[in-house]
A and B are shown apart, each in its own frame.
Chain A
Amino acid sequence: MNAEPWLSYASASLPVQALSWLLILAACWCLLGLIGLLRPRSIHFVAHALFPLGALVCVGIMLLAGSFLATGHAAETMILPLGLPDLPFHLRLDALSGFFLLLLGMAGAGISIFAAGYFRAGEGTAPGLMGLQYHIFLASMALVILADDAYLFMVAWETMALSSYFLVTSQHRIPEIRRAGFLYILMAHLGALCILLSFGVMQGGSWLFTFDAMRAASLTPFWATTAFILALLGFGAKAGLVPMHVWLPEAHPAAPSPVSAMMSGLMLKTAVYAMLRVGFDLLHVRFWQWGALVLALGLFSALFGAIFAAVQTDMKRLLAYSSIENIGLIFTGIGLAILFDASNLRLFAALALAAALLHALNHSLFKSLLFLATGSVLHATRQRSLGKLGGLIRTMPWVATFALVGTLAIAGLPPLNGFVSEWLLLQSFLFTPQLPHAFLNMLIPLGAAALALTVALAAYVMVKFYGIIFLGQPREATLAQAHDANWLERLGLFWLAAGCVAIGVQPQVALRAAGAVTGMLFGQAVTSGASIWQIAPIAPEQASYSGLIFLAGILAVVGITFVGVRLLAHGRMRRTDAWDCGYPWQNSRMQDTAEGFGQPIRHMFGAFFRMERELPAPADATPRYRIQIEDRLWRALYLPTARGVQRLADAVSVLQGGRLSIYLLYSFLTLIGLLVFVL
């Protein structure tokens, strides 16, 4: 049954346009945050009353954005009487912002409901304050997506960075967390600087900083490339693209789990949104070199993230590196879209962009799900290290089941949603030999191989993650007292898991939403051949996929086999000790560890890491095995840059002599200089 006529009737009968409603909902978030300040220390009030209301607001945003996309309205704009005197706040709701608002609402609802059940007393910041920061974070992300001029964009962007900084440093009494927060805000500011410069270049001489003015500006190729590179640096730093990724593996583990989920699931996607806005909407020429650059960075980030995730021993760091990998995949799709568009192959560009958008949506769902699951595990066991977990499927069955859905989704397995976006991305790679450039049409198909390697490596990493945390034997005795999640947490996890399954089994709904965006940007939708049974983005004879048949088929065969075996044979079973090849003892130290699982990767991809190993010698009284793996880029790029900046700062600080007469001399010289030059 087609839902479109009903939706269009519903939205046509609303007296006010969708944008106003969205603004009102975003304002509701701010209001909820402020209300939390009334009783800042009361967990019950903040967590059980305000956060669920915030989740309802998320659902409202999701439905509004979804209906806007479904009914294909033209873009809506609005000007608010706030802001600078000659630059009031401009807002715009079109297909691109609608898609990302849908993403924000959908994942945000699950996270907020989980957070309602998650926050407990006595964890650093007062709950009311945290509620304020949380909701301001959400509202600022919505404003970033809706912004239509550079000033509102930067205000919302910086608010986003600042509120998330406070959220990351919630447990500010721990020095590592403060350090991680500092790194985070530093990278955020460097990125914001690049973004500001990029906007400055894009206004192209008109000195009007509205996005409409930027759309109308015509830039020379040099300036357009400069603007693009600056935007890539700035938004890439926020998204976690290599080499600007260093803050991500520090900040995500430091933050409380719902905040990590929000950052990974939502904030990184606002950076993707902004990149798309700048790359495809504000700049209207694209060069194939940009596409090749973004593609190369994306593939490298993806491989880098997967390899590093495989060797981690902290569960949240593992997920953080996995986020880097997925962002790399999204940027790979964006790079392909730019490449195809620059060669005028718009249908394939639409396919690549749809793959990237769908992957962004899927990632926000399954990564949030996984981070929230680790939050439950953390609360139940107080352990973050993989070496001290295990066997939690028996004591935390609900969390384990939802985490299984998330794991299968992120590993890119059919019939869940991760597979659909990865399938679409691989499909778009198949058309790269048609690019008209001599070396590119031979080199880029190899990118498909790198993509396949990354996706399969992600499956490896996720088997490690799930297997070591939830399966096997518990590695610590205290794990037997782990308790399962409460009902609010379960509801949040269920919402996200249901989203994963729904998009996996009926991907054409999400594909239609992505098609609205590609229609706006390229004039091509990728929904040909889509039906309730399958999706076939280019043509059914060329390739098609049906998640529904996969799920139904597997379930049917499982059911038939189960019943058949019981009928034809029997269902008897008895419990004994594990076989273990006849070994009499087996304790939890005998199973594989996180380091062990990472050993093949260390062996094969050793060049990526900087490893410090301490191996036990046979004569040691207390043998120790220690391995520490570091990012090479930290020593090669960041520390030298930091030292250079320090030296520069030291050199400049000579000016600050400390003597009053010197300072007065400076003022005097400046006055003389102004008199000379002005008069």
Chain B
Amino acid sequence: MRAISLIQQFAEIVLAVAIAPLFAGWIAQCRAWLQNRSAPPLTQPYRMLRKLFHKDVALAANASPLFRLAPYVLFGTMVLAAGIIPSIATDLPFARAADAIALIGLFATARVFMALAAMDIGTAFGTLGARREMMIGFLAEPALLMVLFNAFLLYGSTALPSLVDGHATHPSVIDPSVIFAAIAFVMVLLAENARIPIDNPATHLELTMIHEAMLLEYSARHLALVEWATDLKLFNYACIGFALFVPWGIAIHGADSSSALLLAVAALVAKLILAGAALALIESLSAKLRIFRAPEYLAMAFLLAVLGLLVHLLLGANVNA
């Protein structure tokens, strides 16, 4: 394990934790611009976090230790995931700890802890949110797995560093299976991160909430950690998308250290800006779906991913014939 890879690992984690709220703030700002409102400043999420950390926790009398532990576990899983996903470099010691399927498992751990914590106090909204969140979870998993299957067929691996390296050695031209998989991935990203059209992150109507309903009982530092973890989850999903589909700029194995790293950071920031704007555009153009239209939406994502798989098996295998 070289020293440079340790430095890259550390830098990546710190960068992810630091930038994630900024990314969420940028998306909020783009949404505001698209909806002809004036936006809060980009540093608003940081101010919110600071405010929350300094408040006293107001805990329900019947909250169990699980409720108090869950925000930390959530934050921990998201930080670990940020360390595993190759957002700026592929030569990371933690990258060996998980391939993409294990990453999905890590996100599932976070989701289950969140759902259990939501059921802990025993309010109607918490249990409702837990039930809905788990439902979205199990509908999104097949689609996500099929996207990874596509990646595996194209590059022979599900480990993200190998995928990024594979992209670098033989860049693919416009491949329909890649495009289908990318669209499916974006649809799943919207579903898993509680964005429109599955869930409205800015809603105040409890009966329409999925993700927010699970957070209703949290306050102060717990809420801050959960919010930060949510922002990190979106950041992580975006970085997975970049690693799978547009990995240009990531410092690959054996690259010359400092300049490659700076280039990677710059590329990441540029990609995040574009992705944030695109996400805000999609959110502004779509309407929130009824909860039982969500299976159709996710079935569409699953279908796209499977179509990509089948098209690759039919056409891609014969492209040289």
A residues within 8 Å of B by Cβ?
390-391, 393-394, 404, 408, 411-414, 419, 423, 426-427, 430, 433, 441-442, 445-446, 448-450, 452-453, 455-457, 459-460, 462-464, 466-468, 471-473, 533-534, 540-546, 549-550, 553-558, 561-562, 565, 568-570, 572-581, 586, 588, 590-592, 596-597, 599-600, 603-604
Contacts and interface: CB of A to CB of B under 8 A. Distances in A.
A158 B130 CA distance: 45
30 contacts: A393-B66, A394-B62, A430-B158, A445-B146, A450-B142, A453-B139, A467-B130, A471-B122, A472-B121, A472-B127, A473-B62, A534-B96, A540-B96, A542-B162, A545-B98, A545-B99, A549-B97, A553-B79, A553-B80, A553-B94, A557-B75, A557-B76, A558-B72, A569-B221, A576-B61, A578-B123, A578-B217, A579-B216, A591-B123, A604-B292
A562 B96 CA distance: 27
A573 B59 contact: yes
Give 4 closest A-B pairs by Cβ, nearest first: A472-B122, A592-B127, A456-B138, A467-B119
A501 B159 CA distance: 24
Nearest to B50: A569
Contacts of A472: 119-122, 127
Given A390-B122, A542-B159, A574 B97 contact: no
Given A423-B102, A557-B76, A558-B73, A573 B157 contact: no
A594 to B, nearest CB: 11
Contacts of A448: 145-146, 149
B163 to A, nearest CB: 10
A393 B97 contact: no
Contacts of B310: 442
Interface in B200-258: 206, 216-217, 219, 221, 225
B106 A414 contact: yes
A459 B134 contact: yes
Interface string B69-106: 10011011101100100000000001011110110011
Interface in B13-68: 53-54, 56-64, 66
Given A449-B302, A590-B123, A543 B101 contact: yes
Interface stretch (B109-117, B172-180, B276-284): B109-117
A580 B125 contact: yes
Given A573-B56, A591-B124, A550 B98 contact: yes
B90 to A, nearest CB: 11
Contact of A471 (B58, B61, B116, B306): B116
B261 interface: no
Nearest to B72: A558
Contacts of B146: 445, 448-449
Interface of B: 53-54, 56-64, 66, 69, 72-73, 75-77, 79-80, 83, 94, 96-99, 101-102, 105-106, 108-109, 111-112, 115-116, 119-128, 130-132, 134-135, 137-142, 144-146, 149, 152-153, 156-159, 162, 206, 216-217, 219, 221, 225, 292, 295, 302, 306, 309-310, 313
A430 B149 contact: yes
A556 B306 CA distance: 38
Contact of B157 (A446, A542, A562, A576): A542
Among A413, A446, A599, A604, which residue has the most Cβ atoms of chain B within 10 A? A413
Contacts of B119: 463, 467-468, 471-472, 591-592
A413 B60 contact: no
Given A414-B106, A471-B116, A581-B206, 12 more contacts: A393-B64, A534-B96, A541-B157, A542-B158, A542-B162, A545-B98, A555-B76, A557-B79, A558-B69, A578-B217, A586-B124, A600-B135
Nearest to A460: B134
A569 B54 contact: yes
Nearest to B144: A452
B232 to A, nearest CB: 11
Contacts of A427: 101, 158
A414 B109 CA distance: 7
B16 to A, nearest CB: 12
B56 A591 contact: no
A462 B134 CA distance: 10
Contact of B130 (A408, A463, A586): A463
Contacts of B139: 453, 456
B131 A534 contact: no
B156 A575 contact: no
Contact of A592 (B56, B58, B131): B131
B112 A550 contact: no
A239 to B, nearest CB: 25
